[in-house]
Structure 1
Amino acid sequence: MSATGKLYLMPTPLDFGTLAADAAPPDLQQVLPLDVLQVAARLPVWIAENAKTARAFLKRVHGVVPLQQPLQALLIQELPRPAKGGHKPVAAVPLDPLLAAAQKGQDTGLVSEAGMPAVADPGAQVVRRAHELGIEVVPLVGPSSLLLALAASGMNGQSFAFVGYLPVEEAARGARIRELEACARRSGQTQMMIETPYRNTALMQALLTHLQPATRLSVACGLTLAGGWNRSLSVQDWKRGSRALPSDVPAVFAIHGG
């Protein structure tokens, strides 16, 4: 066994939290390569955004590639989260205990609730600490809703920014939208954002209210899922036939100067 283990950044499918209770999940091999599933099946230690979701993912992995250890024998540690509505970084809490097994030679997986870990989730601080501790970081291939949405938008993929969540308060949100639009027009840079699914419609309405008619707006909803769709139009065209957004499926929004 090597002096230190590796930290594998394990992608997960984008359907978690979006399926009806009686719906069968899609085949993992449609979104994750077999060699990625083989890595997942052998890892003894996990760092997860949500332990319950991580177990559900590993059960699905087991259906394709049998786990080398029983699920209950795996060490699954939850990543501390910043307080809701706050900006306290995960680095403010001890991260070394999560990486202790890797420091002792055990390969460890980092997993998000859906999609790529450490992208739009708090796992990035774990990756940073792993580098500081000399632990090799290995990113694996899998779906990223942000990159899929960007590719489908027809917007500038050479220069783009992901700005996360916009303010919830109406006036602050409108000001932020106008600020991002000005940046997009000035620099040509695509501006990307997300919202909690139940606020999808509210964000869409705010974008249509505050953006200029010629600004291009892209919405990608439930990509890789059955019924997923994406649409990229000018704001004025969106207003002619605006589409209702689901309140239970994540969406990615992007704007460009036109």
Structure 2
Amino acid sequence: MSAISNNAGGCLYLIPNFIGTLPWEYQFPEHNKRIIRSLRYFIAEDLKACRNLLKQAEYPDISQAKIEEYNEHFFDKDISYLLQPLNDGHSVGLISESGVPVLADPGDDIVKLAHQKNIPVVPLIGASAVLLSVMSAGLNGNNFAFNGYLPVEKSEKIRKMKELEQLSFHKKQAQFFIETPYRNQKLFSILLQILQSTTLLSLACNLLNDNPFILTKTVADWKKLPIPDIHKKPCIFGILKM
């Protein structure tokens, strides 16, 4: 397979996908539809989610779209073939399963390779659960970190949560993280047990759905409230020790 040239002529579009059930106009500009319909080659984290996005973008004939799958199962493998269409002057769209590519999703290796090959990278506007949670938390939008998933093992999870709490205090830096949705309720209970009473804890759940839940309270105040139903619902947690 020949190397990708530096003057391929096409570009790599980073295309956001739906993060909730609300329709297109709540999540993306119409411009995204025009870009998607102009492309033939796509790299998708999830094939079904990609085809659904193409359908919502009114793609003329999805059967003619050339879609290559790329997710965590492809890490540490040669991915240069994914950008091969750029050799022939074709642009390529990178599509997440949900939200924006690369941010808490696979794809950074593809973007890095594009930069190495001097391929233009064009991010498109779209909904991001991470950014929406930072915006709505009221913690520190000027200094924050997104930490992805916490460790699965309980003792390691607790150690990491305490570490993030101290980091948020010493750096005045809001710390955001996520959990597998069916573990949300258990994580929330652990947070109430181990965090300091004055630490701010933010929940942003079911964003861009019909029933979103967004609330920031101190741990002490959370303990006075009914336990929110966040089981099996996409949720982003944020903390800031005061």
Scaled by the length of structure 1, what TM-score is found?
0.88
Count of matched residue positions in the alignment of Structure 1 and Structure 2: 236
User: Is the contact made by 1:197 and 1:247 (CA closer than 8 Å) also made in structure 2?
Assistant: yes
Per-residue deviation, 1:117? 0.5
Q: Counterpart in 1 of 2:179? A: 195
Amino acid in the other structure paired with 1:57: L
Q: Counterpart in 2 of 1:78? A: 69
The within-5 A match list for 1:136-151 is 136-151=120-135
Equivalents in 1 of 2:106, 2:32: separation in Å? Answer: 22
Q: 2:47 aligns with which of 38, 46, 51?
A: 51
Amino acid in the other structure paired with 2:13: Y
Amino acid in the other structure paired with 1:39: I
Residues 225-254 of structure 1 deviation map (CA, whole Å, 9 limit, x = unaligned): 110120000001111114323333210000
Equivalents in 2 of 1:164, 1:131: separation in Å? Answer: 24
Per-residue deviation, 1:201? 0.6
Q: Do structure 1's residue 39 and structure 2's residue 35 form an aligned pair?
A: yes
Q: Counterpart in 2 of 1:93? A: 77
Equivalents in 1 of 2:180, 2:234: separation in Å? Answer: 7
Equivalents in 2 of 1:208, 1:101: separation in Å? Answer: 51
Equivalents in 1 of 2:156, 2:226: separation in Å? Answer: 24
Equivalents in 2 of 1:206, 1:129: separation in Å? Answer: 40
User: Is the contact made by 1:200 and 1:245 (CA closer than 8 Å) also made in structure 2?
Assistant: no
Equivalents in 2 of 1:42, 1:26: separation in Å? Answer: 24
Amino acid in the other structure paired with 2:201: L
SS of aligned partner of 2:223: helix
- State the percentage of identical aligned residues: 36
Q: Do structure 1's residue 125 and structure 2's residue 109 form an aligned pair?
A: yes
Per-residue deviation, 1:168? 1.5
User: Is the contact made by 2:177 and 2:236 (CA closer than 8 Å) also made in structure 1?
Assistant: yes
SS of aligned partner of 2:104: coil
Scaled by the length of structure 2, what TM-score is found?
0.93
Amino acid in the other structure paired with 1:192: F
Query: 5+ residue gaps in structure 2?
Result: 1-6
SS of aligned partner of 1:240: coil
Equivalents in 2 of 1:245, 1:118: separation in Å? Answer: 29
Q: Counterpart in 2 of 1:114? A: 98
Per-residue deviation, 1:199? 0.9
Per-residue deviation, 1:76? 0.5
Equivalents in 2 of 1:251, 1:81: separation in Å? Answer: 21
Equivalents in 2 of 1:158, 1:232: separation in Å? Answer: 17
Q: Counterpart in 2 of 1:176? A: 160
Equivalents in 2 of 1:137, 1:103: separation in Å? Answer: 15
Per-residue deviation, 1:3? 3.0
Q: Counterpart in 2 of 1:3? A: 8
SS of aligned partner of 2:28: coil
Q: 1:28 aligns with which of 21, 24, 28?
A: 24
Q: Do structure 1's residue 104 and structure 2's residue 88 form an aligned pair?
A: yes
Amino acid in the other structure paired with 1:110: L
Equivalents in 1 of 2:99, 2:45: separation in Å? Answer: 12
User: Is the contact made by 2:45 and 2:95 (CA closer than 8 Å) also made in structure 1?
Assistant: yes
The within-5 A match list for 1:157-176 is 157-176=141-160
Equivalents in 1 of 2:81, 2:170: separation in Å? Answer: 45
